[in-house]
Amino acid sequence: MNEKTIRYVAKLVGANRIETHIRNLTSNAAFDLRKISEAQEVVYEVRGPKRNDDYTSIENINAELSKRAESLGLNVPTLVNRLSRDICNAQEGEKIALAGTMRLVIQASEEESSVLAMLDIMVEQDGDIEECVHQYCLLRFIWVANAMGMFFEGSVEQSVIQ
């Protein structure tokens, strides 16, 4: 399959000075934050949030769903297989979204407390997994914004850069 790089961009806004929001993120153990440049704009690289558990294999998911269906007196192998695949696609989407590097860009002339958050993700062109990646990228922005004590202003823009 062909790979492509997608860039997601969101504007995060907060009520406090930007230094306070950066300190909030720095103090959260689920994230790693590293300043990578400081000129006309300050740029931080963000990794995380970190997962504390492993992903479940499709075989284990299928077995668990089959057991639950049987306990309800249902014989629905097609539905169980489809749900198992959906769960695995979601797990794969989460892995891809968490592996991408997020950058927080703060303009030096910016008066308000806002940050431009950019997330570059490399994905294989697979519609099912790509939709899961998109959903987890949105969640990752929410996780970062919440950890910083900020919120979204507007929507998340998405563009293919490669």
**110-139 pLDDT, tens digit each:** 556 788 888 888 887 777 788 888 888 888
1 pLDDT tier (thresholds 50, 70, 90): low
- Residue 150, pLDDT > 80, answer yes
**pLDDT score recorded for residue 112:** 62
**pLDDT score recorded for residue 109:** 47
41 pLDDT tier (thresholds 50, 70, 90): confident
The Cα 101–Cα 58 span in angstroms is 27
Average pLDDT over every residue of 29-44: 83
Calculate the alpha carbon distances from 38 to 24, 48, 81, 106 in Å: 20, 22, 50, 9
**pLDDT score recorded for residue 73:** 93
pLDDT in tens, 59-116: 999 999 999 999 999 999 999 999 999 999 888 888 888 888 788 888 654 556 788 8
Q: Count of domains in the chain?
A: 1
Average pLDDT, the chain: 85
pTM of the model: 0.79
Contacts 24+ apart (CB under 8 A), 148-151: 148/12, 148/14, 148/21, 148/22, 148/24, 148/25, 148/115, 149/14, 149/15, 149/16, 149/20, 149/21, 149/24, 150/12, 150/13, 150/14, 150/21, 150/113, 150/115, 151/12, 151/13, 151/14
The Cα 23–Cα 46 span in angstroms is 13
**pLDDT score recorded for residue 54:** 82
- 43: domain CATH number is 3.30.2030
Taking a C-beta distance cutoff of 8 angstroms, is the pair 106, 41 a contact?
yes
- Residue-number span of the structural domain to which 137 is assigned: 3-160
The Cα 77–Cα 84 span in angstroms is 10
